[in-house]
Amino acid sequence: MTLALDATYFANIGRGVGAILLYALLGALLMLIGFWAIDITTPGKLNRLVRDGRPGAVLVTAAGMISMAFIVVVAIWSASGLLAEGLLAALIFGLAGIIAQVAAVRLLEWVTGIRIGEVLAADELNAEAWVVAAAHVALGLVVAVAII
């Protein structure tokens, strides 16, 4: 029994691996930008609070990263396999999503009276951290579905 591969098999594999690497790089970049956007719009140094293991900071940061992943995944999916268009869509929708998400979460905190600096710096996880984390995930889903 011999195995015969299509003549374009390895070229397709190479393009696929290249797309994976480019989308992973773009996704990581958008998540870093999202983290930075959350950091500069909240009191305190978010990366330090996360490193110190402050549970509210960890939960809110994790929710922000998950919501950004939703946006990037849907942008990739909506590009219908076209690499350049998919990367550009993921970048544009990702940046718009970061702006919308940060603005909406800050608005929610203001309307509800949540003192996000205290929530992030607290030694124990509190209900307000869950509200902010849920807002991040919900807004990520809303932005992701809006892409479709």
Please state the rounded mean pLDDT for residues 102-117.
Answer: 91
Mean pLDDT of 13-23: 91
Query: How many Å separate Cα 130 from the centre of its chain?
Result: 17
CA-nearest of 101, 120, 108 to 47 is 120
Q: Which two tokens mark 135?
A: 């807002």
pLDDT band at 127 (very low <50, low <70, confident <90, very high): very high
Residue 93 has pLDDT above 70, yes or no: yes
pLDDT of residue 1: 61
Q: What is the pTM of this model?
A: 0.82
**pLDDT for res 132:** 93
11: part of which helix (H) or strand (E)? helix 9-40
pLDDT above 90: residue 113 = yes
Q: How far apart are CA 49 and CA 118, in angstroms?
A: 11
* Structure token digits, residue 148: 């479709």
Cα–Cα dist 50/58, whole Å: 5
Q: What sign has the CA pseudo-torsion 7, 77, 24, 86?
A: positive
Q: What is the mean pLDDT of the chain?
A: 89
**pLDDT value, residue 101:** 85
DSSP assignment of 20-64 equals HHHHHHHHHHHHHHHHHHHHHTSSS-HHHHHHTT-HHHHHHHHHH
User: Considering just the CA atoms, what is the radius of gyration of the chain in Å?
Assistant: 19
Q: What is the pLDDT of residue 7?
A: 84
The pLDDT tens digits for 32-82 are 998 898 889 888 898 999 999 999 999 999 998 898 888 878 877 887 667
CA separation for the pair 23, 74 (Å, rounded) = 12
